[in-house]
């Protein structure tokens, strides 16, 4: 169980999170899915057995902090929209599936458990964006070698719709269990995959003219062996 504070419509909400799900290979377009599989195959990550797939992780990995600690220089993040099921209803936010790529090469499930999973404090009620969902835009920037570089950008239409992802996870139930957080997949990279010092991520709603933003720094811890 993980206790977090979120902001929903300018009000503070306490959340007890008991389940963390990382959904993978969730692209709507098979070519985009294949592109991302190829990106990871290039660094030794095996192809998935099923598409999409759902990795269960410890809820204790979730963090709204602005700095995370990782071991070595083999991790990186990816911007994703995140579904958060609270007693007040289904919410959507933005997060980063920060993953150890070296570990991912021999065990994806294990790699998902190796790094903290940053999530922004602000959430939107899903009902507020459901009717114009496909207009939403995901975007990320990396800070690497003194430069801020656009890392990912694209409409959420690259990823399966929230209700379909929930249905596939629950095998037909359209409700995400209360206390569950699900990271819902990402999009192709615009820069080489690899470590960075800082990650900026955004979920933009151009219809309502608002954006959820979150940033975090990465502190690299040395190996002791």
pLDDT above 80 for 111: yes
Q: What angle do CA 1, 52, 157 make, to 5 degrees?
A: 100
Least confidently predicted of 36-45, 85-94, 191-200: 36-45
Look at strands 62-63 and 53-57 and give their pairing. unpaired
Q: What is the CA radius of gyration of the chain?
A: 16
pLDDT above 90 for 42: no
Q: Considering the chain, what is the average pLDDT of its residues?
A: 93
Residue 62's nearest CA partner among 9, 103, 22 is 22
pLDDT above 80 for 30: no
Residue 104 has a pLDDT of 80
Cα gap 148→128, rounded to integer Å:
32
- The arithmetic mean of pLDDT across residues 78-85, rounded, is 98
- The arithmetic mean of pLDDT across residues 3-8, rounded, is 97
Which pair of tokens denotes residue 124? 């939107």
Domains in the chain, ordered, with CATH? 2-221 (3.90.850.10)
In a 10 Å sphere around its CB, with 0-12 CB exposed, 13-18 middle and 19+ buried, how is residue 53 labelled? middle
Residue 225 has a pLDDT of 67
Q: For the sheet with 79-86, list strands across it.
A: 11-17, 2-8, 122-125, 89-96, 79-86, 180-183, 19-24, 53-57
Percentage of residues in the chain having pLDDT higher than 70: 98
Cα gap 68→39, rounded to integer Å:
24
Cα gap 223→48, rounded to integer Å:
29
pLDDT above 70 for 53: yes
Q: Write out pLDDT tens, residues 160-211.
A: 999 999 999 999 888 999 999 999 998 889 999 889 999 999 999 999 999 9
Which pair of tokens denotes residue 206? 């151009």
């Amino acid at each position: 169980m993980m206790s977090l504070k979120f902001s929903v419509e300018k009000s503070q909400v306490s959340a007890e999170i008991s389940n963390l799900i990382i959904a993978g290979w969730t692209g709507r377009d098979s070519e985009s899915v294949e592109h991302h599989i190829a990106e990871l195959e290039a660094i030794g990550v095996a192809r998935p057995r099923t598409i999409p797939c759902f990795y269960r992780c410890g809820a204790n990995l979730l963090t709204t902090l602005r700095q995370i600690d990782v071991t070595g220089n083999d991790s990186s993040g990816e911007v994703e929209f995140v579904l958060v099921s609270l007693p007040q209803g289904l919410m959507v936010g933005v997060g980063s599936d920060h993953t150890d790529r070296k570990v991912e090469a021999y065990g994806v499930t294990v790699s998902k458990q190796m790094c903290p999973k940053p999530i922004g404090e602000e959430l939107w009620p899903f009902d507020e964006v459901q009717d114009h969902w496909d207009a939403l835009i995901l975007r990320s920037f990396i800070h690497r070698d003194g430069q801020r570089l656009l890392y990912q950008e694209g409409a959420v239409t690259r990823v399966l719709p929230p209700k379909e992802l929930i249905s596939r996870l629950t095998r037909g139930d359209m409700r995400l269990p209360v206390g569950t957080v699900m990271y819902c997949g990402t999009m192709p990279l615009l820069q080489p995959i690899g470590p960075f010092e800082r990650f900026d991520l955004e979920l933009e709603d151009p219809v309502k003219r608002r954006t959820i933003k979150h940033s975090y720094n990465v502190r690299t811890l040395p190996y002791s062996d």
